[in-house]
């Protein structure tokens, strides 16, 4: 049989070229940039570890990390609770199951731009439908997007609304892998609904929980278009996210070296947070 020795390499060549140009080179170049100052137009200037020391002394940088943590602390529990509850209810013998699933999933497929513009109106201080509802039932208006203490929370709730449908589906897949015989055995022992959920369901869907936590974490660190459209990072930088800060450093001030340093550091941070979560969740059950 004749075999072309080079054919397999021809097949993977597009990937290898793509990998070198868009992954390997940028990662190396990114490391290079962290030791340099550059605005693309003038020559590259070596600055040693200035970018790093600047980053650790940059209050905006710490603010962006704090904001991301704030987002995650609200977003992850909300996401887990609502997705699990909806999936658990959908997993029973329910009429219209397909309709409910399709409805929950709608925000997932729609562009974040649409969701953000929509929620900006719903949360508007004067004309927003949520504040109008609050006023009608006798409460005061809430500054959802204008109060620095609340704005990031509002964005976290909106992000939950957008993504929860995906996690409902993932949990549904997870729930269906639990063998019914486990529940039957527990019922014979007289276990309550809650006990069955706590001691059978939860441990068995642990991998799904882990995945939801990780995907939400990555989502939190990737947050960009929501604050970009809704608040521009304000009020008082309370919704300045990591990626928005990279974007501003790079494309408002043309600090390529510094923004690459931020990107490099955030990437490391994401990876370490995920490793910690993995350790924690895996030893927890």
Partner 1 sequence: MINMKKILIYIFLSLAAISFLYPFYWMIVASLSPESEIGGLTFLPTEFTLDSYIQMFSKIPLGRALVNSIFVATLTTGGVIVFSSMVGYALSLMEFKGRNIIFYIIIFTMTLPFQITLIPNYITMVKLNLVDTYAALVLPFLLNSFAILLFRQAFIGMPKSLIDAARMDGCSDIRILYQVLFPNIIPTVVIVGILTFMNSWNEVLWALIVIRDENLMTMPQMVTLFSVGGRAESQLGVKLASAVLLALPIMLAYSFFQKYFIQSMASSGLKE
Binders of partner 1 among residues 71 to 90 (CB under 8 A) are 82, 85-86, 89-90
Q: Toward partner 1, which CB reaches closer, 109 or 188?
A: 109
Rounded distance between C-alpha atoms, residue 171 and residue 202, angstroms: 11
227 binds partner 1 (CB under 8 A): no
Q: Which residues have a Cβ under 8 Å from the Cβ of 59 and sit 6 or more positions away?
A: none
Kind and range of the H or E element at 13?
Answer: helix 7-19
Among 81, 102, 135, 185, binds partner 1 (CB under 8 A): 102
Among 48, 56, 57, 127, binds partner 1 (CB under 8 A): 127
Rounded distance between C-alpha atoms, residue 214 and residue 219, angstroms: 8
Among 9, 46, 62, 139, binds partner 1 (CB under 8 A): 9
> Are 135 and 222 within 8 A, CB to CB?
no
Shortest distance in whole angstroms from residue 257 CB to partner 1: 9
Question: Which window, 19-27, 70-78, 141-149, 194-202, contacts partner 1 (CB under 8 A)?
Answer: 19-27
30 binds partner 1 (CB under 8 A): yes
Question: Which window, 52-60, 64-72, 162-170, 182-190, contacts partner 1 (CB under 8 A)?
Answer: 162-170
122 binds partner 1 (CB under 8 A): yes
> Are 82 and 160 within 8 A, CB to CB?
yes
Shortest distance in whole angstroms from residue 121 CB to partner 1: 6
Shortest distance in whole angstroms from residue 193 CB to partner 1: 9
Q: Toward partner 1, which CB reaches closer, 113 or 149?
A: 113
Among 108, 142, 204, 281, binds partner 1 (CB under 8 A): 108
271 binds partner 1 (CB under 8 A): yes
> Are 70 and 223 within 8 A, CB to CB?
no
110 binds partner 1 (CB under 8 A): yes
> Are 72 and 157 within 8 A, CB to CB?
no
Query: End-to-end distance of the chain based on CA atoms, in angstroms?
Result: 54
Angle at 152 between CA 131 and CA 55, to 5 degrees: 155
Q: 166 in helix, strand or coil?
A: helix
Q: Toward partner 1, which CB reaches closer, 17 or 149?
A: 17
60 binds partner 1 (CB under 8 A): no
Q: Toward partner 1, which CB reaches closer, 18 or 149?
A: 18
Q: Toward partner 1, which CB reaches closer, 61 or 221?
A: 221
Rounded distance between C-alpha atoms, residue 249 and residue 54, angstroms: 13
Find the helix packing angle between 129-136 and 112-122, rounded to 10°: 30
236 binds partner 1 (CB under 8 A): no
φ, ψ for residue 110, nearest 5 deg: -80, 145
């Amino acid at each position: 049989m004749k075999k072309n020795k080079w054919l397999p390499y021809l097949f993977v060549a597009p990937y290898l070229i793509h990998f070198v140009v868009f992954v390997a080179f940028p990662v190396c170049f990114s490391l290079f940039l962290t030791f340099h100052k550059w605005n693309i137009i003038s020559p590259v200037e070596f600055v040693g570890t200035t970018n790093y020391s600047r980053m650790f002394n940059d209050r905006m940088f710490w603010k962006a990390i704090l904001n991301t943590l704030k987002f995650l602390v609200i977003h992850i529990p909300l996401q887990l609770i609502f997705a699990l509850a909806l999936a658990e209810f959908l997993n029973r013998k329910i009429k219209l199951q397909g309709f409910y699933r399709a409805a929950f999933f709608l925000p997932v497929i729609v562009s974040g731009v649409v969701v953000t513009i929509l929620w900006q109106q719903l949360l508007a201080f004067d004309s927003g439908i949520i504040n109008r509802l609050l006023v009608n039932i006798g409460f005061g208006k809430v500054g959802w997007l204008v109060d620095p203490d609340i704005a990031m929370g509002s964005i976290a709730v909106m992000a939950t609304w957008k993504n929860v449908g995906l996690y409902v589906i993932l949990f549904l897949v997870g729930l269906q892998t639990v063998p019914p015989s486990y529940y039957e055995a527990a019922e014979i022992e007289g276990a309550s609904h809650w006990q069955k959920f706590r001691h059978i369901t939860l441990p068995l869907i642990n991998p799904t929980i882990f995945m939801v936590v990780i995907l939400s974490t990555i989502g939190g660190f990737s947050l960009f278009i929501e604050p970009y459209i809704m608040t521009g990072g304000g009020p008082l930088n309370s919704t300045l996210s990591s990626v928005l800060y990279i974007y501003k450093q790079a494309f408002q001030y043309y600090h390529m070296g510094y923004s690459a340093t931020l990107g490099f550091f955030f990437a490391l941070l994401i990876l370490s947070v995920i490793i910690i979560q993995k350790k924690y969740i895996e030893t927890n059950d």
